[in-house]
Amino acid sequence: MPLLRATLPFAGAIIPALLPLLTPLPAHAAADLPAVPPAASCASLAETDLTAIGGAGSAVTGAEETASDGIAVCSVTGTLAPEVNFQVLLPMQGWTQRYLQVGCGGLCGNITLRSGASAGCEVLNDGGFVMAATDMGHTGNSGEWGLDAQKRADFAYRAQHVTAEAAKALIAAFYGQDAAYSYFNGCSDGGREALMEAMRYPDDFDGIVAGAPAMLFQVQNTLYHGWQAASNYDADGEVILTSAELPLLHEAVMAECDALDGVMDGLISQPAECRFDPRTLVGKGLTQAQADVAAKFYSGPQDAQTGAFLTAGQPLYGSELEWQGVYVADGPDDELFSEMIVDPVLKYLAFEEADPEFGLEDLEFTEATLDRLRARHPLFDATHADLSSFAGKGGKLILWHGLADPHISPANTLSLHLAMGDSMGEETVAGFERLYLIPGMGHCGGGRGPTELDLLSPMMDWVENGSAPEAVLTRSTAETSSFGQPDGVGKGRGRPPMADLGVAALPEMTRPVYPWPHVAAFSGEGDYADAASWSEGPAAQVVNLRDWPGADLFGSYSFADE
């Protein structure tokens, strides 16, 4: 195998500092860069000319000194034509010559200055970054903006790029110099945005952290979530499998598969090894219809005529508690959030011909539908496997994905990693990219296991000091994260599943994770909840991949511009 509306912008500061490491994992440190004070007033940034970046009508709309989480900043808002709104926060003191741009989840539509996967990052907590974010060129998630070609382009790729250019112009104007290093951090659609930057604009960022990326946008927001929703409605439109059944299902999966990775710890670290049929629970807590729904969730959409699978992968064994509020609802009369996800995409984005009347009931799970989705694959998807330009200029990429993610299958992220190896060569990929698959983690964070981590510090260490990351410490946390989450995930969003499903919490844990394909191995001695009892294990399959007619979507292709 190959080696493979701003809210609390300095989000790392609201997470308690990490406790002392319990195992001698490598310490990650950024370069020692002197702090640079402002060379101009905050108010003067209101006069910054952005027309060369965004075109006529682009302008700074506000520049004021304020404070966020105790950090004094110059907050600049602006619009890049036609309607790409952005916000940049420039520290009044303590700027360490670094820039961090953060992505947004769902269909975006708002500005959220929040950095995830960076718990305990000192530079972030101390306000050492200039930070920026954008609404991606539209407001809200209704999808009608997809009728406008320019707004489609802004969402697909342009908004993050021009925001980066605008932020860098404001940095130069405010501090009298450019940033020494630039980083992007995003999850879910923010992960797609992160990859789009590496693929289309390799000069924008030195380091990119992409979590649970919705890179296969066309399939993810149609056939994947469409199947999950359609599978869980009966003929009367009522939800079949509800939240009440999830603990039973999860407990049965754990009884079958928890020990396969060598330790009974309430987590499945190698779901590829798990074999479980939910139909064994018929008459033991599940009805036949409910067991059939669970089986459909695990297997995914298939063309009834050809038998072909229509997604790269599905939710993995061990993710069951995370289904709540996504494609499993608390009551039979609730609407499934997966349907809310696909509705605007089916109507206005996925297909070349928009149809405001198109709904979930009209979606056909066939290879023909998959082929129709190909037309906008070069526009919205970020699965281009040749990142030679990004790697060639010294760019670094960290991919990460929770193995209990209900929204996006980790098979997608592994597929891209392998496609990069095929396209660029495994040695080249090992020189600029790492992939971390995190047991027990839900979508962009949360979940039952030790899922709090910091990937921003290892990225800075890699970019600035040339120290490639290997083991990364994860730990349990009581914090919930909305980083990368689409708005309105429904009841259950942002809460630990055990809080309202009656499932006992696992013990607090610390544990290392290693770059794929290696997994953490328990020593057999000591406390399994202590990272000191774990070390790097052998290469493992971790996630199964399968043949499907869309496999070629992960590869090299020509980008499409609107």
SS3 per-residue string spanning 270-299: CHHHCCCCHHHHECCCECHHHHHHHHHHHH
- Cβ burial of 395 (10 Å; 0-12, 13-18, 19+) is buried
pLDDT value of position 26: 66
Preceding amide of 82 cis, omega within 30: yes
pLDDT value of position 8: 34
Best CA proximity match to 74, nearest among 36, 134, 130, 112: 130
pLDDT value of position 347: 98
Between CA 124 and CA 303 the distance in angstroms is 47
Best CA proximity match to 79, nearest among 8, 178, 159: 159
Best CA proximity match to 359, nearest among 344, 371, 372: 344
Between CA 184 and CA 395 the distance in angstroms is 11
- Pairing mode, if any, of strands 98-102 and 207-211? unpaired
User: What digits encode the pLDDT tens for the residues 228-279?
Assistant: 999 999 999 999 999 999 999 999 999 999 999 999 999 999 999 999 999 9
- The tokens of 384 are what? 């281009």
- The tokens of 356 are what? 């405001």
Q: What angle do CA 539, 216, 334 make, to 5 degrees?
A: 105
Low pLDDT (below 50) residues in the chain: 1-23, 489-497
Q: What does the domain layout of the chain look like in residue ranges? A: 11-215+381-501
Q: 82: which residues sit within 8 A by CB, 6+ positions away?
A: 57, 137, 150, 151
- The tokens of 350 are what? 């996925």
Are 550 and 312 contacting, i.e. CB atoms less than 8 angstroms apart? yes
H-helix or E-strand containing 235? none
Residue type, 477: T
Q: Which residues pair with 134 in a beta bridge?
A: 86
Best CA proximity match to 224, nearest among 489, 407, 443: 407
Between CA 133 and CA 419 the distance in angstroms is 29
DSSP 51-68: HHHH-TT-EEEEEEEEEE
Q: Which CATH number fits domain 11-215+381-501: 3.40.50.2300, 3.90.1150.10, 3.40.50.1820, 3.30.2350.10?
A: 3.40.50.1820
